Chains A and B, each alone.
Chain A
Amino acid sequence: MTMIKKVKENLFLVVVALAYMVMFITSPAMGIESVKSSGYYIKEMLMIMPVIFILTALLDIWIPKERIMQYLGKDSKVKGIFLSLVVGSISAGPVYAAFPMCVMLHKKGASIRNIVIILSSWAVIKIPMLINEAKFLGPKFMCIRWVLTIIAIIIFSWMADKIIKDNDLPGEELTQAGLHINRGACLGCTLCANNYPELFEMKNKKALVKSYKTLDMDKLENVTKSCPVKAISYNENKEM
């Protein structure tokens, strides 16, 4: 059972591994070629991911929720759109580098629309890329495509915002009474179990709340804040 569950959780990895096996059996040369071209992307990842993780964590800790809401939240309007476009455009690295950053921003109150804008512009609008494009396809081609892309992003982010609700995103079932861990979002980083072992434990590589009588609110707040995916929530008011 656990085996099946593990396969299911890492389905993509399993598929890729199988594909490589098939390839190495049928055509070893092509297999080697694939590994080689993966090398470039591994380098690309190592150059950018560590710094993105650190930056995300630092921003998470130092920038208060109210600030994020003010600049990127639902009522940020044109200011939010502009800021999101800028954040996406000056970024570096592949689009998946934007994921942890955007998850953090959304948890802190950035709107769906602005998240879509950051992700999309992070993917398409890169200044080094634009320079490259102008070089090979001409400045006119580059400028027109750039302007059209920005218009497209502004329009479809608005559409996405109309369709997607905040609670469609994982980790948003935060309104349950009492202490709650969103185990779907939990990464198994053990931070909570280490910082507050009386309350949290690890089970099947995910955090679990132990039964408790009293809560150390300072400690709990600390743990809630330090969770990288904000999977821990405590709702005082609704507790019965």
Chain B
Amino acid sequence: MDIFTLAIWIGTLIFLGFSITKDKVKTKQALKMALGMGKGMVVSILSIIFAIGLILTLIPPTKVAAFLGTQSVLLATIGGALLGTITLVPAFIAFPLVGTLIHAGVSVVPTVAFLTTLTMVGVVTFPLERKAFGVKFTTIRNGLSFLFAIVIALVMGVMI
């Protein structure tokens, strides 16, 4: 557990203790509410997780790296951004991987596009995000994130 997760746990437990001393009934209601939220989301979250496992096997990060390294910059940028949207590679795998790519002389632009869409745009989380916020919100947030990921990549290409 990283320190931030731990901090959230500790903070929440203190908050919970405080809440209990102040109003037991309300606290009980909050816990019930939390359980209700969990029940409502658990199936969707599990589907997402298993979809990620599947995608990681079908499109392994090493293959992505190989692809980014061999294509022309333009193709690799678009491809990298697209691959970033469908996969969800943990950061501790993604950064070393991209690090070796850049040290091997691959252009910065496609790798940044890949890194940014990797976390900000999610095809697998789309169904859950849509359920929570509606189609329009989800489409626009993800669409704009995708476009700006490419802009960030291009700007970084100029700056570095």
Contacts and interface: CB of A to CB of B under 8 A. Distances in A.
Interface residues of B, number: 82
Given A137-B98, A144-B156, A30 B57 contact: yes
Contacts of B125: 94-96
A66 B112 CA distance: 40
Interface in A36-70: 36-42, 45, 47-58, 60-62
A164 B129 CA distance: 15
Nearest to B30: A57
Contacts of A181: none
Interface in B119-158: 119-120, 122, 125, 127-129, 131-134, 136-137, 140-141, 144-145, 147-149, 151-152, 155-156
A42 B125 CA distance: 15
B8 A53 contact: no
A57 B53 contact: no
Contacts of A13: 43-44, 46-47
SS class, residues of chain B in contact with chain A? helix
A106 B133 CA distance: 10
A53 B98 CA distance: 34
B8 A99 contact: no
Contacts of B75: none
Contacts of B129: 96, 99
SS class, residues of chain A in contact with chain B? helix
27 contacts: A13-B43, A16-B54, A19-B54, A38-B53, A45-B45, A50-B34, A50-B38, A60-B33, A91-B8, A92-B8, A96-B41, A100-B41, A115-B133, A120-B141, A126-B4, A128-B91, A132-B95, A136-B95, A145-B152, A148-B156, A152-B152, A155-B148, A170-B131, A187-B40, A189-B39, A226-B29, A226-B32
Given A100-B132, A145-B115, A168-B136, 18 more contacts: A12-B127, A13-B43, A16-B50, A38-B52, A42-B46, A57-B31, A61-B27, A61-B29, A92-B5, A94-B125, A120-B141, A126-B4, A128-B4, A145-B152, A148-B152, A160-B144, A170-B132, A229-B37
Interface of B: 1-5, 7-9, 11-12, 15-16, 19, 26-27, 29-41, 43-54, 56-58, 88, 90-92, 95-96, 98-99, 102, 108, 112, 115-116, 119-120, 122, 125, 127-129, 131-134, 136-137, 140-141, 144-145, 147-149, 151-152, 155-156, 159-160
